[in-house]
A and B are shown apart, each in its own frame.
Chain A
Amino acid sequence: MQFDEIVAVRKSSAAWRLLRADNAPLLLSFLGRVFVDDNVREISESALVNLLDDELYSLNKRLGPGTYPRTPKAYLDEWAAADTGWLRKYYVIESDEPHYDATPAVERAVAWVRSLRERGFVGTESRLNTVIELLRQIVYGGSTDAEIRLAELHRRRAELDVEIEAAERGDFHVMDATSRRDRYQQFADIARALLSDFREVESNFRSLDREMRERIATWRGTKGELLDEVVGSRNVISDSDQGRSFQAFYDLLLSADRLDELDDLVRQTQSLDGLPDDDVRLTNIHHDWLDAGTRAQGTVRRLSEQLRRFLDDQAWLENRRVMDLLRNIESSAYTLRDHRIDDFAHEIDSPTPQVHLPLERPLYRRASTVEVASDGIEEGHADGDSTALFEQIHIDPAPLIEHVRSMLRRRDQVTLADVIAETPMEQGLAELITYLSLTDEGFTKVFDESATETVSWTDDVGAHRSAHVPRVIYLRPSHDPDHPEENR
């Protein structure tokens, strides 16, 4: 890669940006765990916020409060922003809650950081075998010459014959533990890589769809030419390289025989001795493939459907015309910008028929007058329990103000948490609310919404309670150098 190219990638690659981010460890560990390890491909905002909240809580507990001071939602918003591009935020049809999925950039960054870990053993033999096998497939699989094909088949039969003879004599090669480990490692690598590739497959489908739409929208020729050009077949996406390769894979995976064989093989392999059997996920990796594949399949189906709708004659012409008309409308509206436009009105039908049934309207009813008779008033007596009235808590702000002031005598500013740490709260939540609404000429109060603090107290029944509040800072006014409040 050339210098300039690398500079460009460094600037534009979301994966590289992720590695350079200040909170990269949090990003990699959290997003890696949820989206890569747990193979989550769509999660609602509230579920993700909960997970992140737990993560932040345990990190802050371990590394000291304030290590990650922001709210989970604030982090998610940042990670899904257009200029970071680590999470895809979108609305699904069935729900009004935003959903998230990781972008391929996350997969890449996580995989790269993982690859930095030292490996005690790197198998190479199996890779060479795979390489040779691949080359054979390319050469013979693509050849149209019957001679070459036959020659290859004969060669393979000869090899097999030799092996069969040897086996009949009881002379066969048993794979030793090292070769087995070597192959298992390669299996694990490919299996995991395949899973992570799905994200990219999906994102490729999506960008293919976008390209298509752009081409259709900016097409200047006739509709017939467009159809010849892009929709020789209506399934543009499924017929792309990406689409075909994926479909072949998916068909293979969907055949029950294959799946059973795979399942069987993986289990047998893992029961062999001498294999690093540390990853239980590999046992069920084909189910994860199936999940991820089904989702990619769903994406393709949805995209094709939408593309077809987009290509639909009427929608296409209508959208065209809308864009043209809007240009005119906008320019007329600009010329009117500095005029009085009060008497302009344009009509539109209501989307709802309006039914006003005559009988629905209330009939005239004379307003009734209430007679007030103040004769013969007797003293009543209470027959209910009135203790509830006396249990109302009234918080006197004066002592609270005094607490804040006394601390401000020693410092220029204190936070609410400082105040409560020094003089514990006695009346619980009501007292906390009073603290939040204190006003006094001796100090000013600032709410710092970007940070939260935790305050805790013990309630009447002895339970320990705590609350998260925005950081409240009480400041000594700066205009009184003589600290007049000290004299009061």
Chain B
Amino acid sequence: MSRPVPRDELNLPLAVTSLMKGVVYRDTAETAWRHVLGLAAQISDYVATLGLAVVIDEAEGYAFLRSKGDDELADLGIPRLVARHQLPLHTSLLLALLRKKLAEHDTTDAGNRLILTSDQLRELITPFFPVSANEARTADQADTAIRRVVDLGFLRRMPGQDGEYEVRRVIKAYVDAQWLADLDTHLAEYADTMTQEQR
């Protein structure tokens, strides 16, 4: 376990810039992580002026900046710093399936990291593509979805291990029950209109 940094050695600029650059993980950025832990309150005050809130999950070992709600931003009169991505169906689905995998993994395995091979990732998503003779096309589409999730930062290519990906635990914070419930409603409505159009 990492020792806390002495109070007078804490470095706010380091903590804030690390967070501005992306999610800070205990396992890959230990120094920054310790400064973030020690400075939680100061960071919170500091980033509040940018319309951001800091989220630290000590148990899971990650910290990140999240945008304040749109209403709050409107009250403050500042624009939104955190981009909102529009994800196509299969990318959204892959995110949901990865979240499920992580939940399953937690029930069966003793907290080792969840590592999936690219074949396993493809297998996850291919059942949701139309049955087609052109398997190469399906594989391409699956790879596109996987690449997108990697770009978003929820999957990480394992360095030196060909075709292995780590499902980053921060996915829990983004793909949470609320997000999944929204996706569920959205998807059900969409499916409804689609099947009605067909009739």
Give the B-binding residues of A (Cβ under 8 A).
90-91, 93-94, 96-98, 206, 209-210, 213-214, 216-217, 302-303, 306, 309-310, 312, 315, 318-319, 321-323, 325-326, 328-329, 332-339, 341-342, 344-355
Contacts and interface: CB of A to CB of B under 8 A. Distances in A.
Contacts of B152: 348, 350-351
A341 B88 CA distance: 8
B161 interface: yes
A325 B115 CA distance: 23
A318 B177 contact: yes
B193 to A, nearest CB: 10
B27 interface: yes
The list of the 10 closest CB pairs from A to B, nearest first, reads A217-B107, A306-B111, A345-B86, A321-B177, A325-B180, A346-B92, A332-B187, A353-B81, A344-B89, A319-B103
A337 B128 contact: yes
B112 A91 contact: yes
Contacts of B108: 210, 213-214
Contacts of B129: 337
A312 B106 CA distance: 12
B41 interface: no
Chain B contact surface mostly:
mixed
Given A213-B106, A302-B110, A333-B128, A350 B85 contact: yes
B118 interface: no
A22 B23 CA distance: 48
A342 B86 CA distance: 12
B23 A352 contact: yes
A209 to B, nearest CB: 5
B188 A328 contact: yes
Contacts of B99: 322, 326
B85 A334 contact: no
Nearest to A322: B103
Given A336-B190, A344-B187, A345-B88, 5 more contacts: A322-B100, A322-B177, A353-B50, A353-B81, A354-B83
A318 B176 contact: yes
B106 A310 contact: yes
Contacts of A322: 99-100, 103, 177, 180
Interface in B62-82: 64-67, 81-82
Contact of A348 (B65, B97, B179): B179
B81 A93 contact: no
Contact of A306 (B95, B110, B128): B110
Residue with the greatest number of chain A CB neighbours at <10 A, chosen from B83, B108, B186, B190: B190
19 contacts: A91-B112, A91-B115, A93-B27, A93-B61, A96-B159, A98-B161, A325-B184, A334-B128, A335-B195, A336-B190, A339-B194, A339-B198, A345-B87, A346-B87, A346-B183, A349-B83, A351-B64, A351-B152, A352-B82
Nearest to A97: B160
B106 A319 contact: yes
Given A96-B160, A349-B174, A344 B88 contact: yes
A326 B97 contact: yes
A166 B161 CA distance: 72
A266 B49 CA distance: 68
A353 B67 contact: yes
Contact of B110 (A303, A351, A355): A303
A318 B195 CA distance: 31
A341 B93 CA distance: 12
